[in-house]
Chains A and B, each alone.
Chain A
Amino acid sequence: MPEIKVTPLGAGQDVGRSCILVSIGGKNIMLDCGMHMGYNDDRRFPDFSYITQNGRLTEFLDCVIISHFHLDHCGALPYMSEMVGYDGPIYMTHPTKAICPILLEDFRKITVDKKGETNFFTSQMIKDCMKKVIPLNLHQTVQVDDELEIKAYYAGHVLGAAMVHIKVGSESVVYTGDYNMTPDRHLGAAWIDKCRPDILISESTYATTIRDSKRCRERDFLKKVHESIERGGKVLIPVFALGRAQELCILLETFWERMNLKAPIYFSTGLTEKANHYYKLFITWTNQKIRKTFVQRNMFEFKHIKAFDRSYADNPGPMVVFATPGMLHAGQSLQIFKKWAGNEKNMVIMPGYCVQGTIGHKILNGQRKLEMEGRATLDVKLQVEYMSFSAHADAKGIMQLIRMAEPRNMLLVHGEAVKMEFLKGKIEQEFSINCYMPANGETTTVTTNPSVPVDISLNLLKREMALGGTVCYGDGFLVSSEQALKELGLNEHQLRFTCRVQLQDPHSDPDTLHRIYTHLKSVLKGYTIQHLPDGTVMVESIVIKVSSSAEDPNTKVLLLSWSYQVTFLRC
């Protein structure tokens, strides 16, 4: 029986360093290659030694597919391809291909330049890695080789996020990456057709949330910013160049427009144009509304948001500043933070995860006194807020996707074990399909039962549609038995059985036969029974003859004759 094997190297009952190995129809595929933000040691990257102990991965993997540009899905890619060693194809969508190297470079800078780590991938390695990337278009069927084909579907979540359908022969797997089933401010909802995969591998970040509260969080965010501005405070939002920054910009831009607010919004320099440009150029990946109106008004050309100059930080009055980097560990965001930290009217909003050791991480943990370089300490008096804006499918959304794709089995990754357990129960109950949730390094094996495709001769098909009967099968072709014999140069072989039954009956032969005939007629209803003039009785195709024994005319010998095919009838 053919099998599909799924082994998470990361994201098995966990969030972070997504990396899932799939073996299907003799092909090995790696889905995502992320890093874990919460670790600084070896656990940061997936354990590639699971694949092979010695050396390069190229011969063990047929392809690598990256679902989207978040680092927990692509952060380990240059490490895997350049340091462990993989030269095969890497697939990702165009926006992911464009944005992923920028985030990788940012990440590299933090790790190497700031924290002084060695044995990490270099800028050149990021470039070399990206050279191995083949861009994917939505819905395009990409033939990785003669047997393996992949197809990307829109996943929402972030710009360029995709779900992938992986197919070998009649077996298939869908991997969702991160997705969102409701359209948000700049992205559309995930969609997939009824592809009936053998396994649907889904993220389950919000496995227990029934209604995604993103709208509420947005309202919360706006309220906090607004209140701060109202009382004359300054709001600092540390962000990374791409992704969340644009979403929050749209949020504030529309809010400013609606509320007719005058306080300036700044975006730290060097980023604005460039980052927003990606969104303008990939506008086809955003939601319907933005796409429809982009000629008249490009949502990523912000009217209220202006470029920041460092001198503005000292300007009196309220303002909102987006500044990089997002974890307050260096650069402009840190400089501004230092300037504003002492005033309780001000506020810093952290819209994303912060790595341990960064100032962002410290203040989120409630630390109010920070040691700065040169033994100085910084009193943190401003308000600190944390807000997650990531767009994931909630339990309802996950169920909706299952209804869309109609998988035969379900496999959960990218979530917490307890929440998965809950969702698993719900899925098994509602859809009566198996639901798996392997831990990292644990292999789930699903047995598939594919139909066997064969080619039937058209004549036969047309005939059989009307009749039904026997056909012959060889070399993957179905033909009529006559044709099969002809093509193979064989003759049909007739096999008949004749059975002698003796019975005592004083009547003449024809009379005996007639009595048998009438008897059969009364017993075997619903069968064709004929009394033929040549002195035989036929029951369907069974021939019955009567003759007298030479010695004793009262002993009749009944000859029953039937063909081999009839024996099947009797069974």
Chain B
Amino acid sequence: MKLYCLSGHPTLPCNVLKFKSTTIMLDCGLDTTSVLNFLPLPLVHSPRLSKLPGWVSKDGTINLEKELKECAGRVFVDSQPEFCLPERELLDLSTIDVILISNYHCMMALPYITEHTGFTGTVYATEPTLQIGRLLMEELVNFMERVPKAQSATCWKNKEIQRMLPGPLKDAVEVWTWKRCYSMQEVNSALSKVQLVGYSQKVELFGAVQISPLSSGYSLGSSNWIIQSHHEKVSYVSGSSLLTTHPQPMDQSSLKNSDVLILTGLTQMPTANPDGMLGEFCSNLAMTIRAGGNVLVPCYSSGVIYDLLECLYQFIESANLGTTPFYFISPVANSSLEFSQIFAEWLCHNKQTKVYLPEPPFPHAELIQTNKLKHYPSIHGDFSSEFRQPCVVFTGHPSLRFGDVVHFMELWGKSSLNTIIFTEPDFSYLDALAPYQPLAMKCVYCPIDTRLNFHQVSKLLKEVQPLHVVCPEQYTQPPLSQSHRSDLMLELQPPPMPYRRCSVLNLPFRRRYERVYILPELANSLVPSEIKPGTSVATVSAVLHSKDNKHTLQPPPAPPTKKRKRVIEEPPVVLAPKPLLSGAVPLEAFLATLQKHGISEVKVEETADGHILHLQAEDTLIQLEEDGTHIVCDNNEPLRSPERCKLEGN
């Protein structure tokens, strides 16, 4: 059993597990942090961005004016943003049988894997994961395609040149493999390969292994996966949460008794308490509005935004924000808000109960009904005419490199009355803001990451007790910035097996048993004998029949009758079954049995290894030894039989 690690990003994993002749990809995360190296894509022409100076090396030998622009001491690539894909050279991706998706954030690289690699397998995901994942992909494609950029910068990727560039460009990895965004057509094709599954559904793969998604409590439809055979169990834990937000709570008990637990997707903000951050979010928002400023919240269009809106729903009245307009701008804003209301089965108990009334599970329905929250597909169209300030705008993309958020950065960046509040933990806010510097706008960083923290995960592992834990190497040491915090790492016994991008791990697995089914006809013919209390043994002579990785034992075919000289249709060659005898023959009992069969004239002679019995009337010698019996007689079948029977009895 092997694990191939195709992504180095601990929360956007992509691993491949080879287990019992199946090849299973676990998640398909797309590392989008690479876009931070690019210039933002403005929706309307931005004089500021277009006037940024080109970059020339200090000694003037390298001139990349056209590709690289400088802003506030940082260098950015002026090109369509590109993503860092999962590693594609480590193994042949066309051999992948199935892809298991744990949540909608971890499937963004799917089109890169399922299209153009020869992939012919099936993708398994829950319905909310598929639907919301589709929205997020659609949004991404839309963001990119509505501001097409003719030029595609490639010169800077030259190894020799990249070496000379200032950081962080210099240190960017695998830049040659970075790819532009996929098209909607590729998204549709990729998603057509998805097979929907429900929590705790058991899906058989080729009869060899069984997979089953479990609620992970992180987002709508998010799941951990159990991959097991009759004797081995691998748990894949990715993006799980123990906080009570909107999704169904995490199923922990089903993770018990795992041989290997693959742990990814822990919180990226181990020191930030989500509840505290939510409080800070609200108070900063209220403060800015009261002072007459606008609030910009860069966010994904599904996930934490539902919680933010719910929090604001309760907060608006008490904070006197009843008249402040809230805008949610995204090509998929409407869909996201609508979809959130129809997944009752996937929600926490409180929200489920609301559906029984029937009321929409999320209060943002009411915010929309009362016109407090308005949603628009983009800043163009209706929004531009209905837009009132001061206001609160939720919009993407949280990297600040594309999407409607770029427009608001340009619009509001110069005023110190305005505030940008970062809630998504995926991007460093300083890096995100870098191409907009200098900025007058206030920046507040309240990352809300509800995924498991180190304290929670060690408690969980104590509870479920896996034999081995595999995790990204990042989790085996404290974060670089807080190297003294030994509480911000995984400390386990035995220590976890760390992986990094391109690692190939041999998982410590010893498969010893496999399940076979004995057909009832055969099972009925077995004669178990009790060897010791509670342990019975029977010899089985059977034909092993293997089909679709399922093994059955069938009764051996009857031997061909003696009369048939030539068997035309030869049955499969069956080697003679070899009956098994064990133990030693107790002398006294044996003599008693002989007597029962009418043999009483027995002369017993002791030898070095046992006894020799002389059956005088029958002129037969029986040699009894510890591990063997030899019967010498005249041709006398009736006599041999009872002796055989007696011996078989042992």
Q: Verify that A and B bind, or say they do not.
A: yes
- Chain A 475-513 interface mask (CB, 8 Å, partner B; 1/0): 101100100110010111111111111000000000000
Q: Given A94-B345, A281-B355, A469-B575, does the pair A295, B335 have CB atoms closer than 8 Å?
A: yes
Is the CB of B172 closer than 8 A to any CB of chain A?
no
Contact of B647 among A471, A485, A564 (CB under 8 A): A564
Is the CB of B148 closer than 8 A to any CB of chain A?
no
- Chain B 492-519 interface mask (CB, 8 Å, partner A; 1/0): 0000000000000000000111111111
Is the CB of A403 closer than 8 A to any CB of chain B?
no
How many B residues face the partner with a CB closer than 8 A? 82
Q: Given A98-B356, A281-B358, A473-B538, does the pair A295, B338 have CB atoms closer than 8 Å?
A: yes
Is the CB of A141 closer than 8 A to any CB of chain B?
yes
Q: Are B345 and A135 interface neighbours, CB within 8 A?
A: yes
Chain B residues with CB under 8 A of A494: 581, 627-629
CB distance from A285 to the nearest CB of B (A): 9
Contact of A282 among B344, B535, B536, B631 (CB under 8 A): B344
Chain A residues with CB under 8 A of B575: 467-469
Partner-binding segment picked from A15-23, A201-209, A447-455: A447-455
Is the CB of A335 closer than 8 A to any CB of chain B?
no
Is the CB of A142 closer than 8 A to any CB of chain B?
yes
Is the CB of B633 closer than 8 A to any CB of chain A?
yes
CB distance from A166 to the nearest CB of B (A): 15
- Chain A 438-464 interface mask (CB, 8 Å, partner B; 1/0): 000000000001111111111001001
Chain B residues with CB under 8 A of A453: 515-518
Q: Are B650 and A488 interface neighbours, CB within 8 A?
A: no
Contact of B579 among A274, A295, A564 (CB under 8 A): A564
A242 to B553, CA, bound (A): 53
CB distance from B632 to the nearest CB of A (A): 4
A485 to B535, CA, bound (A): 12
Closest to B513 in A: A455
Is the CB of A472 closer than 8 A to any CB of chain B?
yes
Question: Which B556-599 residues have C-beta < 8 A from chain A?
Answer: 574-585
Q: Given A478-B540, A498-B630, does the pair A458, B513 have CB atoms closer than 8 Å?
A: yes
Closest to A495 in B: B629
Partner-binding segment picked from B197-205, B238-246, B443-451: B197-205
Is the CB of B537 closer than 8 A to any CB of chain A?
yes
A446 to B528, CA, bound (A): 27
Query: Which applies to chain A's interface (DSSP): helix, strand, loop or mixed?
Result: mixed
Q: Are B537 and A281 interface neighbours, CB within 8 A?
A: no
Is the CB of A376 closer than 8 A to any CB of chain B?
no
Is the CB of A567 closer than 8 A to any CB of chain B?
yes
Is the CB of A389 closer than 8 A to any CB of chain B?
no
Is the CB of B551 closer than 8 A to any CB of chain A?
yes
Q: Given A468-B575, A481-B580, A497-B631, does the pair A452, B539 have CB atoms closer than 8 Å?
A: no
Q: A458-B514, A469-B577, A493-B585 are in contact. List 15 more A-B contacts (CB 8 A).
A: A94-B355, A97-B356, A141-B212, A295-B335, A455-B230, A456-B516, A458-B513, A469-B575, A481-B578, A485-B582, A492-B627, A494-B627, A496-B631, A499-B632, A567-B640
23 CB < 8 A contacts A-B = A94-B344, A98-B356, A151-B201, A277-B358, A453-B518, A456-B514, A457-B512, A461-B516, A467-B575, A473-B526, A474-B531, A475-B535, A481-B578, A488-B535, A491-B583, A493-B584, A493-B628, A493-B650, A494-B628, A496-B628, A496-B629, A498-B630, A565-B578
Residues of B bordering A, CB below 8 Å: 127, 197-202, 212, 230-231, 334-335, 338-339, 341-345, 352, 355-356, 358-361, 511-520, 523, 526, 528, 531-532, 535-544, 546, 551-553, 574-585, 626-636, 640, 644, 647, 650
8 tightest A-B CB contacts, nearest first = A494-B628, A451-B517, A498-B632, A493-B581, A455-B513, A474-B537, A490-B582, A139-B198
